[in-house]
């Protein structure tokens, strides 16, 4: 008989609509939701026909959950993930995993001690185009990786424009670009950043545009470009080059390029948003952490990289060497 997982949520804002849609596709009901916004709790609890809480500790004490999705703004992370894993729950954490390196290290230690299934929502790792690109790359070396995240953000967002809560665009949004470069190219050894501020002070209290240069441990090089002050056609994606290899991944579904003179043209069906949840559920049911492509420990590495890029930004473009 199929075991029905008991799933809970801490934070039920915008991104959770996608996680809920994915759970529905995998015929997995939501058992309980928690948010500090009582009106949102009432709305989602009614829609899911599940229990609703404004105190996550009460939810953990009452509900015997198998897994909890934690999707709160990065600067609001406190003990939520730690308390979930201490209660024996698997955790699916929205990126980025936090802003406080000490708390993040304590959280990772708690996850390791509890031995629970853990995943972070780096959905691009689960996209069709990324799987296809990895298969095409095979053993070849990617020599250069370029990535860009160029999206016009709204001026009235409740937390996105505040560096103290979101961490800045590099840490909050462009994290996907850094994370996928790590996934495809390996670890970064050096990072250097420059930014521009002043074109979008009504949108955010941090840089509106940034450029980050990367040197990888294997000698490869890369750049991540970000802006929040204008919409750009095909504004998000990656370009990879190697000997007789060029691949362009356009978020979320298009892959093109040339390898050994042969054109590559591929249209994906799955962006990764739905599949990441499916793989989390499978890992949970089969108790198989090894199948997770974006563990908490791995996400901590992406956070460390983006925090180093931020540090360089705040220090006039100083080159930062990352610990290996």
Ligand X SMILES: NC(=O)c1ccc[n+]([C@@H]2O[C@H](COP(=O)([O-])OP(=O)(O)OC[C@H]3O[C@@H](n4cnc5c(N)ncnc54)[C@H](O)[C@@H]3O)[C@@H](O)[C@H]2O)c1
Interface positions, 119-148, toward ligand X (CB under 6 A)? 121, 123
Q: Which of 324, 272, 271 is nearest to 301 (CA)?
A: 324
235 forms part of the interface with ligand X (CB under 6 A): no
Instruction: Select 103 or 221, whichever has its Cβ closest to ligand X.
Output: 103
Site string for ligand X, 264-303 (x = CB under 6 A): ----------------------------------------
Buried b (16+ CB within 10 A) or exposed e, 114-132: bebbbbbbbbbbbbbbbbb
**Span of 30-38, 131-139, 188-196, 239-247 interacting with ligand X by CB under 6 A:** 30-38
In angstroms, give the least distance from the CB of 44 to ligand X: 9
In angstroms, give the least distance from the CB of 94 to ligand X: 3
10 forms part of the interface with ligand X (CB under 6 A): yes
32 forms part of the interface with ligand X (CB under 6 A): no
Residue with nearest beta carbon to ligand X? 13
Instruction: Select 12 or 245, whichever has its Cβ closest to ligand X.
Output: 12
Q: Which of 39, 29, 37, 33 is nearest to 16 (CA)?
A: 33
Interface positions, 57-96, toward ligand X (CB under 6 A)? 71-74, 76, 94-95
Within 8 A by CB and 6+ apart from 74, the residues are 96, 97, 98, 99, 165, 166, 167, 171, 172
How far is residue 189 CA from its own chain's centroid?
Answer: 21
In angstroms, give the least distance from the CB of 225 to ligand X: 18
How many of the chain's residues bind ligand X (CB under 6 A)? 23
In angstroms, give the least distance from the CB of 77 to ligand X: 8
d(CA 67, CA 63): 11
Assess contact for 80 and 70: CB atoms under 8 A.
yes
14 forms part of the interface with ligand X (CB under 6 A): yes
In angstroms, give the least distance from the CB of 163 to ligand X: 14
36 forms part of the interface with ligand X (CB under 6 A): yes
Give the footprint of ligand X on this chain (CB under 6 A). Answer: 10-16, 34-37, 40, 71-74, 76, 94-95, 121, 123, 158, 172
């Amino acid at each position: 008989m199929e075991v029905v997982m008991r799933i809970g949520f801490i934070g039920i804002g915008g991104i959770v609509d996608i996680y809920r849609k994915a759970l529905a596709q995998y015929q997995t009901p939501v058992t309980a939701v928690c948010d500090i916004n009582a009106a949102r709790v009432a709305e989602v609890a009614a829609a899911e026909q599940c229990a609703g809480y404004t105190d996550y500790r009460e939810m953990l004490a009452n509900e015997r959950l198998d897994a909890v999705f934690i999707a709160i703004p990065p600067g609001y992370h406190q003990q939520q993930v730690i308390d979930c894993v201490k209660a024996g729950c698997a955790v699916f954490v929205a990126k980025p995993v936090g802003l406080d390196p000490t708390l993040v290290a304590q959280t990772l230690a708690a996850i390791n001690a509890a031995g629970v299934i853990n995943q972070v929502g780096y959905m691009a790792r689960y996209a069709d185009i990324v799987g296809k690109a990895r298969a095409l790359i095979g053993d070849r070396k990617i020599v250069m990786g370029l990535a860009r995240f160029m999206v016009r953000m709204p001026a009235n967002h409740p937390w996105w424009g505040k560096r103290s809560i979101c961490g800045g665009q590099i840490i909050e949004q462009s994290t996907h670009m850094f994370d996928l470069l790590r996934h495809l190219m390996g670890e970064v050894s050096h990072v250097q950043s420059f930014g521009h501020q002043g074109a979008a002070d009504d949108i955010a209290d941090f840089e509106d545009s940034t450029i980050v240069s990367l040197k990888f441990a294997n000698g490869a090089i890369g750049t991540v470009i970000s802006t929040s002050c204008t919409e750009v056609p095909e504004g998000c994606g990656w370009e990879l080059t190697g000997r007789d290899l060029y691949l362009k991944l356009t978020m979320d579904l298009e892959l093109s390029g040339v390898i050994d003179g042969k054109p590559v043209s591929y249209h994906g069906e799955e962006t990764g948003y739905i599949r990441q949840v499916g793989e989390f559920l499978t890992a949970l049911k089969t108790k198989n952490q090894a199948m997770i492509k974006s563990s908490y420990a791995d996400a901590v590495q992406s956070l460390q990289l983006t925090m180093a890029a931020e540090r360089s930004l705040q220090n006039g473009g100083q080159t930062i060497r990352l610990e290996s």
